[in-house]
Amino acid sequence: MARFSVPNNVFVGCNSLSEAKSCIKSYGSKTLIVTGKHVVKSPMFRELTETLLDIETEYIVFDGITGEPTDVMISQGVELFTKNNCQFVIGIGGGSPLDSAKAIAAMAVNEGSISDYVGKEIAGDIPKIVAIPTTSGTGSEATKFTVITDTKKDIKMLLKDEKLVPDTAIVNPNFSLDMPKSVTAATGLDALTHAVEAYTSVKAMELTDPYAISAVKRIVKYLPMAYQNGYDKKARTEMAIAAFEAGICINNSSVTLVHGMSRPIGALFHVPHGISNAMLLSECIGFALDGAYERFATLGRAVGAAAENDDDKTAAEKFLAKLKEVCDLCEVPTLAEYGVDMDRFKVLIDKMSEDAVASGSPGNTRKEVTVEDCKRLYMNMC
């Protein structure tokens, strides 16, 4: 059985930040907070800085994470971390600041560019990482992955190493209450994709399967509620838990075709990761369905889309229909509606298809995925 890894410390609930004080204090007396400019102005950021002052921990703020993180942003963060003699890193925000915090921690003790470490082990004793998600979707607070854009090659680099699993994850559903509808949809559908792909991956394992089923059930029920009313505390709580569960799943069972094809769209057209996942969800899962009817059928029955006496093929198809329904309820746009230049998209299909397969993620699908398959699926989006 594959290794099963989770953060060393997990604090969940409305008082989770306060409860994590002693844990944070043990990491050092000075930290670099990695975030974006919007979060810096928020009550949650004020709560974080007040907590740090209360435990006599100095902090430096790096709020240069704009959009999805790039190698340039990481270099800037590392410079700030080193120049100010910081001892550990806190990432607060969506997946981008959390991924950036991991990358900065890794590069704080390693030479060269972050692109040098794709497919390689992260060396050295990296600084402790505290991850505080403010969106319910990426699951970065639970994973050994960080996705950073290589600005020279126009590709999204997937780096993975057990050292990148945050030492502490602080999951406070209150921090997601004022999330805009568009971000609620993007991150929630990202989490849904994580759970579905991990459950149907060739790397699925007995320890992650219960988390995956639980996450899918929560998201199918509560994401539409959170999308319609962002201040629904029950829905936000369920989504925060589901995102963490789904993060545990991909950390140990990985992702499949959707993520493989999503990354090139994000890198070349700057579509938010969760939205590009959602755009691909029906096409990719529809393609993968006949390779894992039994697994997709289990999900269909778990969410109540299929009856217990439905055969696996029928139950799997009903689950696919439920996924489409959730995407429709969250008003997922097409590529054209999002504003992607479709002529340029078609020109780049060959490159995107090759990059998708090269990423390795499609290889986790329970049927063979070729470059030609990816080309057809991309064309179906046009």
**CA proximity to 68, closest of 91, 26, 46, 98:** 98
Q: Count CA within 13 A, CB hemisphere, residue 348.
A: 18
Query: What is the Cα 50 distance to its own chain's centre?
Result: 28
Mean predicted confidence (pLDDT) in 204-213: 96
Residue 92: in which H helix or E strand, if any?
Answer: strand 88-93
Q: What percentage of the chain carries pLDDT values higher than 90?
A: 86
Query: Do strands 145-150 and 155-160 pair parallel, antiparallel, or not at all (unpaired)?
Result: antiparallel
What is the distance in angstroms between the CA of the first residue and the CA of the last residue of the chain? 41
Token pair, residue 68, equals 């999805």
Asked if residues 274 and 280 have their Cβ atoms less than 8 Å apart, the reply is no
Structural Rg of the chain based on CA atoms: 20
Report helix angle 293-302 to 181-200, nearest 10. Answer: 130
Strands (E), 163-260: 168-171
pLDDT in the model for residue 2: 64
Please say if the pLDDT value at position 109 is more than 80. Answer: yes
Backbone angles phi, psi at 136, to 5 degrees: -110, 85
Asked if residues 231 and 177 have their Cβ atoms less than 8 Å apart, the reply is yes
Please say if the pLDDT value at position 239 is more than 60. Answer: yes
pLDDT in the model for residue 138: 87
Span 113-126, pLDDT tens digits: 898 888 888 888 99
pLDDT in the model for residue 259: 95
Please say if the pLDDT value at position 1 is more than 60. Answer: no
Lowest mean pLDDT among 23-37, 151-165, 184-198, 223-237: 151-165
Asked if residues 277 and 258 have their Cβ atoms less than 8 Å apart, the reply is yes
The b/e string for 134-144 (b: 16+ C-beta within 10 A; e otherwise) is bbbbbbbbbbb
Q: What percentage of the chain carries pLDDT values higher than 70?
A: 99
Residue 110: in which H helix or E strand, if any?
Answer: none
Distance CA 109, CA 338 (A): 39
Span 135-165, pLDDT tens digits: 988 899 999 999 898 888 887 788 889 999 9
Asked if residues 340 and 230 have their Cβ atoms less than 8 Å apart, the reply is no
Span 298-332, pLDDT tens digits: 999 999 999 999 999 999 999 999 999 999 999 99
